[in-house]
Amino acid sequence: MKSLLDACCERCTHTPEKPCQDYLFCRTEGPICHDDSSCQEKRKQFIEQKRAKTSGSKRILICAGTGCASLGAVSIVQALSDELEKHGLTDRVEVVPTGCHGFCEQGPTFIIEPEGTLYVKVSLEDIPEIINEEILNGKRIERLLTVNSTTLQTTTQFNTNSFFEKQERVVLKNCGFIDPKSIEDYIINDGYKGFVKAVQNLSSDEVIEEVKKSGLRGRGGAGFSTGLKWSFCRQAPGDKKYIICNADEGDPGAFMDRGVLEGDPHSVIEGMLIGAYAIGADEGYVYCRAEYPLAIQHLEVAIAQAEKIGLLGDNILNTGFNFRLEIRQGAGAFVCGEETALMASIEGKRGMPRVRPPFPAQSGLWGKPTNINNVETWSNLPHILRNGADWYGSFGTEKSKGTKIFALTGQVNNTGLVEVPMGTTLREIIFDIGGGIINNRKFKAVQIGGPSGGCLPEELLDLQVDYETLTKAGAMVGSGGLVIMDESTCMVDIARFFLNFSQSESCGKCTPCREGNKRMWEILDRIVKGQGEMEDLERLESLAMVVKDTSLCGLGQNSPNPILSSLKYFRGEFEAHIKDKKCPAHVCTALLTYFIEVDKCKKCGLCAKNCPVNCISGDKNNPYVIDSSKCINCGTCQDKCKFGAVIKQ
Amino acid sequence: MSTVTLNIDDRKVTIPAGTTVLEACRMNNIPIPTLCHDPELTNSGSCRLCVVEVEGMRSLSPSCVTVATQGMQVKTNTRRVKEARKTVLELLVANHPLDCMTCQKMGDCSLAQYAYEYGVKDDVYPGERRNVCLDDSNPFIVRDSNKCILCGKCVRVCEEVQGRSVLDFYQRGFESLVGPAFGSDLSQSDCVLCGSCVSVCPVGALTEKQMIGKGRPWEIKKVQTTCPFCGTGCSFDLNVKAGEVIGVTSNPEAPVNGRALCVKGRFGTDFIHSPNRLTAPLVKKDGEFVEVEWDEALDLVASKLRAIKSEYGADSIAALSSAHCTNEENYLMQKFMRAVIGTNNIDHCART
Ligand SMILES: Cc1cc2nc3c(=O)[nH]c(=O)nc-3n(C[C@H](O)[C@H](O)[C@H](O)COP(=O)(O)O)c2cc1C
Ligand code: SF4
Ligand code: SF4
Ligand code: SF4
């Protein structure tokens, strides 16, 4: 027995062609079909070793997700493995390249089991020390540890670090803790048990009831009840049905789905198996953007592994249930995340949304009843089936159950992936988990829900994050992007940024979105350049309302949200740009004036030497002055001045 | 047939089940503007001009794709509806050339018509306008994408009626355009120049090249006729100005073909007023063609046929008749060959 998946002895009859219904249970608790303590002992040992439970053995979990990989994690994995080999430690120490730990700001990150030691910002140079101190002498390396931002104590274990402490990792439970390329790792950690329970103990309708009861709502944006959606597709007439996993993840700054696919691809497959069984589908697609090569690679490996042991294919676990899964790569158009555009794209057509009804549940892929869910939605399901709807319902609020993953980005100390129960406040996410604003600057706004969401101000930091509350405030949970902004951000400029995204990603089909977003962007652009008029605000608002009211798909229906929420909460800033021709955050170049403070100027002349348009004059006896009529507001002088004498206003 | 009754603008309206709100309105003379709707094509619901208020719906509903249901409460004329339609038109006009004076479509342009009805001004959204090249690559169709309002009707007619799928949308956002693959010209595509796309275009983005500058809709008399080119029997409208045929337009009522035509029928009318056209029979005398009276010409043909028949037999004569002729003329031709000449050597260009 080289692998957990191998038979314990020749009495095992399982093959993918003639599957044994107890296969999965057997591999972790077995053998089932015969009594043999030596067979049982073999399995037990195997699993203990895998869990680093054998004394003296260690597992080093190194994040090798896209974030840490770009910081050199792949070569670190290689170097560490080489070094262990040199020291003859490979028997005792296992190096596991994992998916994302979530702590992207501090990458590359190590978690060393069994103790759970968290090392951050590990570099190649640290490896000899890790071998000598940590592994051979059992001593912590202080400088690689983190500090809990509440207690200000150095933390050794990852779960006492303030970033992890307040999280509730359900979907991300395996992410960063198992080898995503190993189906064994997944199975040891209760993998596929949810599916086995569904397919062997429950009828399709019972599965749907359980999902309905759990209160799970779609994590792709709209928050529609997953169980209800499944029941529509199940009830739709048709002998052929499809299910789809939406892994297009186009929101700027969002990478939750990438994290799940890279770190725990089998959880998505298991979720889809449960869904396919409940709905009565025998074919599925994962539509993933081609910009996620690692996610696609991990998913390909996972699908091949599942096929090999008969968890995908015909007559799965001898239940008569068939299911095949394929990957389709998208070329990175944001609108292809919209369900009808996505299906058109799978069919080989231009990714353009179409009017609904008919809804995909009636007529979807190739005109057949189709159910589409987001990556995170799918990977919630194994946990719901394994632990029950009541357990799941214990997380979250009355109407928004469970947990949600957020991608924390922007001017926050701990950027990364965090998973919290629904109903956690923005303040807890940004300050307790996120560690507050970089350089202790003042918080200004949080953009939540991506280009379809809105910007919320400081007064709303105590809002609970759930579907209804955020929508009421003019934002939305969306897919879960949280962009944190500090006082150095101009809200008009940010609204313009999101509008620029929406207007260039509009598919061009319907008039209000194609033409209206462009015109809203143009109005914002004029305001940012100091050419705005007060009537522009009214025009912006009324145009935004019409675009929302008349657009064909969610892109146009939500693209005005960043403008409307900013106008609601930060109207003064718009007015300052228009009336006073000033940008309060000192961001909008056209509205800035640079000048030199006489008292601070040491007359070194560095500013004048570097000014690209030669508009600074002065000499050893006369302080330097900027001729603002010629200045192009490039800011070079401010960057160059060593005495902070150049001020922008 | 089952019916549903709904309420439109406080009027009770009963219509067959399955009817859209747009159709229900039009059956009852309630005006609804549309640009992308065409009764013969699938609905894309994309121009968003036909929006109405339906009670219980969060957003405005596009009436062309909203099926009327029992008891539905529809309002077509509220401030919210009018404001939305006007904004949609303002947005289209803001990205449309305003050279209506010299546009071939003047007087027959849906955009101009609705802009007039809704009092749309051209200066609401100053900003960028589309500026791309004209496609003047073929003899029959001029494609001016700057005038295109992206209603997609040409895309759908080419795919759904003509079965060629030459046209589609390409690029995204404000840059979106409609045209052949890779933004190429019609002449480089699989286009068969049937002109179906021209017949559905609501604006001046697709026009008949030969008609440019030849006449305005109000100067033109439409004369329905049957196409002389083949035996299919398509009919269409000759566009006649001051006694001269300047071109052909589809007649949606045409019993055989509807609006569909082929390149010959739609664009092949230039022979009518061609100076090269033969108007009298010619007989070769001393090596030169000379104009003669019909009697002389027919006598000559008859005497030659008689001579050939008596010398070489009836089977030495054959006749090939043409799809240009009517059914009756073709019947007479075979009768003549069989009964008068006495041979079965008769064939027709459209036989295979
Ligand atoms: C413009 C646009 C982009 C979208 N992009 C995504 C996406 O990247 N991922 C996703 O899961 N859902 C996306 N959606 C939502 C999908 O249309 C669909 O609602 C979702 O996949 C359903 O899954 P759920 O019920 O699990 O949330 C997008 C919607 C719109 C309108
Ligand atoms: S709202 Fe925008 S993205 Fe959606 S169909 Fe209309 S143009 Fe396309
Ligand atoms: S002329 Fe006919 S074939 Fe050519 S693009 Fe138009 S509809 Fe298609
Ligand atoms: S060319 Fe005419 S028919 Fe085609 S999309 Fe443009 S406006 Fe519509």
Pick the CATH number of A403-486 from 3.10.20.600, 3.10.105.10, 3.40.50.10860, 3.40.50.1980: 3.10.20.600
Residue of B nearest to A554 (CA): B59
**Interchain proximity B44–A549, CB inside 8 Å:** no
User: Model confidence over A508-518: pLDDT tens digits?
Assistant: 999 999 999 99
Domain residue limits, chain A? 1-56, 57-163, 183-393, 403-486, 491-580, 592-648
Euclidean distance between CA atoms A290 and A300, whole angstroms: 13
Pick the CATH number of A491-580 from 3.30.360.10, 2.40.50.100, 1.20.1440.230, 3.40.605.10: 1.20.1440.230
pLDDT at residue A77 in the model? 94
pLDDT at residue A52 in the model? 63
Euclidean distance between CA atoms A560 and A611, whole angstroms: 39
Whole-number mean pLDDT of chain A? 93
By Cβ distance, the residue of A355, A503, A543 closest to B87 is A543
Euclidean distance between CA atoms A44 and A480, whole angstroms: 40
Residue nearest to atom 12 of ligand 1 (CA): A220
**Interchain proximity B94–A512, CB inside 8 Å:** no
Residues of B in contact with A352 (CB under 8 A): 169
User: Model confidence over A601-643: pLDDT tens digits?
Assistant: 999 999 999 999 999 999 988 889 999 889 998 889 999 999 9
pLDDT at residue A43 in the model? 87
Euclidean distance between CA atoms A61 and A179, whole angstroms: 8
Q: In A, residues 145-184, which contact B (CB 8 Å cutoff)?
A: none
Mutation pick from B91, B122, B151 vs chain A, by most beta carbons of A within 10 Å, is B91
**Interchain proximity A333–B172, CB inside 8 Å:** yes
Residues of A in contact with B84 (CB under 8 A): 546, 549-550
Euclidean distance between CA atoms A300 and A307, whole angstroms: 11
Domains and CATH numbers, chain B: 3-77 (3.10.20.740), 214-277 (2.20.25.90), 282-348 (no CATH)
| Preceding amide of A31 cis, omega within 30 | yes
More confident residue, A619 or A208: A208
User: Model confidence over A184-201: pLDDT tens digits?
Assistant: 999 999 999 999 999 999
Question: pLDDT grade, residue A157 (50/70/90)?
Answer: confident
Residues of A in contact with B91 (CB under 8 A): 511-512, 515-516, 519
Question: pLDDT grade, residue A54 (50/70/90)?
Answer: low
Question: pLDDT grade, residue A454 (50/70/90)?
Answer: very high
Q: What is the pTM of this model?
A: 0.92
Residue of A nearest to B52 (CA): A550
Query: Is the per-residue pLDDT at A554 higher than 60?
Result: yes
Q: In B, residues 101-140, which contact A (CB 8 Å cutoff)?
A: 124-125, 127-128
Residue of B nearest to A506 (CA): B173
Pick the CATH number of A57-163 from 3.40.50.2300, 3.90.580.10, 3.30.420.40, 3.40.30.10: 3.40.30.10
pLDDT per residue rounded down to tens, chain B (352 residues)? 799 999 999 999 999 999 999 999 999 999 999 999 999 999 999 999 999 999 999 999 999 999 999 999 999 999 999 999 999 999 999 999 999 999 999 999 999 999 999 999 988 999 999 999 999 999 999 999 999 999 999 999 999 999 999 999 999 999 999 999 999 999 999 999 999 999 999 999 999 999 999 999 999 999 999 998 887 889 999 999 999 999 999 999 999 999 999 999 999 998 899 999 998 999 999 999 999 999 999 999 999 999 999 999 999 999 999 888 888 999 999 999 999 999 999 999 877 5
User: Using N-to-C axis directions, what is the helix angle for A375-387 and A256-263, rounded to 10°?
Assistant: 60
This complex has an ipTM of 0.91
Class of domain A183-393: alpha beta
Order the strands of the B221-226 sheet from edge to edge. Answer: B221-226, B235-241, B244-249
* DSSP-based three-state secondary structure for A634: coil
**Interchain proximity B45–A552, CB inside 8 Å:** yes
Residue of A nearest to B80 (CA): A546
pLDDT at residue B352 in the model? 57
Euclidean distance between CA atoms B176 and A202, whole angstroms: 50
**Interchain proximity B45–A355, CB inside 8 Å:** yes
Question: pLDDT grade, residue A205 (50/70/90)?
Answer: very high
As a whole number, mean pLDDT of residues A85-95 equals 90
Tokens of A468: 């209804």
pLDDT at residue B305 in the model? 96
**Full DSSP string of B191-245:** -----HHHHH-SSTTEEEGGGTTT--GGGPEEEEEE-SSSTT--EEEEEEETTEE
Residue nearest to atom 6 of ligand 4 (CA): B148
Q: Report which bound ligand comes closest to the CA of A351.
A: 2
Pick the CATH number of A592-648 from 3.30.70.20, 3.40.190.10, 3.90.1300.10, 3.90.1150.10: 3.30.70.20
Q: How many CB atoms lie within 10 A of CB A279?
A: 27
Q: Hey, is the C-beta of B336 within 8 angstroms of any chain A C-beta? A: no
Listed in sequence order, the residues at least 6 apart from B14 whose beta carbon sits closer than 8 Å to its beta carbon are B3, B4, B5
> How far does Cα B251 stand from its chain's mean position?
7
| Preceding amide of A108 cis, omega within 30 | yes
B20 neighbors B65 (Cβ within 8 angstroms): yes
Question: pLDDT grade, residue A53 (50/70/90)?
Answer: low
